[in-house]
Amino acid sequence: MNEENPKCSTCSDSDCSASKRRRNETDEEFADRQKLQSRLCRIRHKIIVLSGKGGVGKSTVAVNLATSLMLLGKRVGLLDVDIHGPSIPTMLGLENEMLQGSEEGLLPIELGDLKVMSLGFLLKNQDEAVIWRGPMKMGAIKQFLQDVAWGDLDYLIVDSPPGTGDEPLSVCQLIGAVDGAVIVTTPQKVAAVDVRKSITFCHQLQVPVLGVVENMSGFVCPKCGEVTQILSSGGGRKIAEDMNVPFLGSIPMDPRIAQASDDGRVFIHHYAETPLAGIMRSIIQPIADLDGCCC
Ligand code: ADP
């Protein structure tokens, strides 16, 4: 074995950046980078879900996207890097799950064919607050990518906290070649301003924008069917058009979505036959198309 450039165990691609030591890289840094790369090599598509603001339904979209891809027969990982407010364990009814280790690394929690990892699984109780600065967050995200036994995946969906801070930056830097970002917003102007920042963030990091999803776009009265635009409408589509990125579609407000996530059930799975689940599937189709599958 070449001591200067020891082979990565995943493949023998001599063009892979992990096959070559960088200038001034220590042995430890090089070994770490190879370990990270050997995990990432086994994941075909890496998608990050972003939003400008909190509470717009980003985690809801991430959970439904991941579950929908799994229901299509894909091997999917869902990584929650919302370090200060991990909500994925609750949305999937996994609050009481404990992580376990193996020779391969930390084992993600498995829900059917969906592999889930969240800092929420490491907190002793849900009231615990995580008070970490940027480098600690970067370290935790690196561990989630490098030390978790993800195995072979078709998709890794990363649910990032709102905004353009340390977490999405770390994810994009560590993963390198992210397939793209799905950006979630609500339709009103105050959310729209921030979604522009998320799009600019992607452009600056050369992460393709797969599209904008407008969530909570109108409320359909369950009794009479009348549509009320509680948060105005069309903001997401307008931004997508203005900034020349795809618009994936609108999800209306529906109490069943909120109820399902409180109950730890995924809407697109448990209400699969409803027209709204059909709307969600059409929004997700371009992401499913990345791996050539049909919703
Ligand atoms: P974020 O990740 O952007 O902070 P969440 O996905 O946690 O937002 O959603 C915030 C809350 O809104 C959750 O209780 C969720 O169930 C609810 N919610 C999200 N989208 C909808 C919707 N279209 N209709 C009704 N409730 C929704």
Position 235 confidence tier, pLDDT thresholds 50, 70, 90: confident
Counting from 1 in the atom list of ligand 1, the atom nearest the Cα of 258 is 16
* pLDDT over threshold 60, residue 7: no
Q: Phi/psi at 49 (nearest 5 deg)?
A: -105, 125
Q: Quick: pLDDT tens for 239-281.
A: 999 999 999 999 999 999 999 999 999 999 999 999 999 999 9
Which residue's CA is the closest to the ligand 1 atom numbered 26? 258
d(C-alpha 157, C-alpha 140), whole Å: 17
Instruction: Report domain extents, the chain.
Output: 42-290
- Residue 258 Cα to ligand 1 middle (Å): 6
Q: Among 272, 217, 202, 281, which residue's Cα sits nearest to residue 250?
A: 217
Question: Quick one: pLDDT at residue 6?
Answer: 54
d(C-alpha 151, C-alpha 149), whole Å: 5
- Residue 237 Cα to ligand 1 middle (Å): 19
- Pocket around ligand 1 at a 6 A CB cut-off: 51, 54-60, 87, 215-216, 251, 253-254, 257-258, 261
* pLDDT over threshold 90, residue 205: yes
Indicate the helix (H) or strand (E) that contains 100: strand 100-102
Kindly state which CATH superfamily the domain 42-290 is placed in.
P-loop containing nucleotide triphosphate hydrolases (3.40.50.300)
Is 0.85 topped by the overall pTM? Answer: yes
Helix (H), strand (E) counts: the chain: 10, 11
Q: Quick: pLDDT tens for 167-201.
A: 899 999 999 889 999 999 998 888 888 899 999 99
- Residue 57 Cα to ligand 1 middle (Å): 4
- Residue 186 Cα to ligand 1 middle (Å): 10
